[in-house]
Amino acid sequence: MNAIAFLELSSIAKGMEAADAIIKTAETELLFARASCPGKYYILFSGEVAAVSASLDAGAAWAEGFLVDSCLIPRVHPQVAAAIHQTAEPAAYGAVGVMEFYSVTAAIYAADAAVKAAAVDLIELRLATGIGGKSFAVVVGEVAAVRAAVDAGIASREADGFVLAHCVIPSPVPELFEMIG
């Protein structure tokens, strides 16, 4: 996988049609396709850039007037997909940084920017499920690296206007990590 794409639709039926078209259009891997809060349908898939781009175009065409948002990230950092699947295991915890967004696409772009900007581990990327359509990313590492990653994530052009809140906790209590994930 070297690219990732995401579609957000305001119709569950059209979302299912779009997901089917995405997979039938080109060789892509469906990471998830599901209904979520507040009555939206989210589709995330990956593959080679050309295939993902073609499938994104096909999915958007099926979405018709129900397309809320979409994104395509070529050369996505491998930690992004691992965090979405909640399979990320950090080397060490240290400081923790959290970036919270009103938009799923903003969270994906910000998470990618954060892990490309500093030596951190992306341990969670929650995309709208069970949190009222909001999304958030959690990074861990040395304090300076976490600060640099969070700054890069919230400053990414695609996150502009969608940042709800963010924080860096230099020495979190161990119990905090039991609640993540």
Last residue of a domain, one of 74, 106, 134: 74
Contact at 8 Å (CB) between 41 and 35? yes
CATH number of the domain to which 25 belongs:
3.30.70.1710
CB atoms within 10 A of CB 140: 25
Exposed / middle / buried, residue 111 (Cβ in 10 Å: 0-12, 13-18, 19+): buried
**136 and 91 together in one domain:** yes
Range of the domain at 106: 78-179
The pLDDT, as a whole number, for residue 169 is 92
Rounded to an integer, what distance in angstroms lies between the CA atom of residue 117 and that of residue 90? 17
The pLDDT, as a whole number, for residue 87 is 55
Q: Please report which helix (H) or strand (E) contains residue 31, including its range.
A: strand 28-36
Q: What is the pLDDT along the chain (181 residues), one digit of tens a residue?
A: 688 898 989 899 999 999 999 999 999 999 888 888 778 888 989 999 999 999 999 999 998 899 988 889 888 888 777 777 665 566 566 899 999 998 888 898 999 999 999 999 998 888 876 667 788 999 999 999 999 999 999 998 888 888 999 999 998 887 776 666 5
State the chain's maximal CA–CA distance in angstroms: 48
Q: Write the DSSP assignment of 48-110 as a string of letters.
A: -HHHHHHHHHHHHHHHGGGEEEEEEEET--HHHHHHHTT----S--BEEEEEEES-HHHHHHH
Last residue of a domain, one of 37, 58, 74: 74
**162 and 92 together in one domain:** yes
The pLDDT, as a whole number, for residue 25 is 95
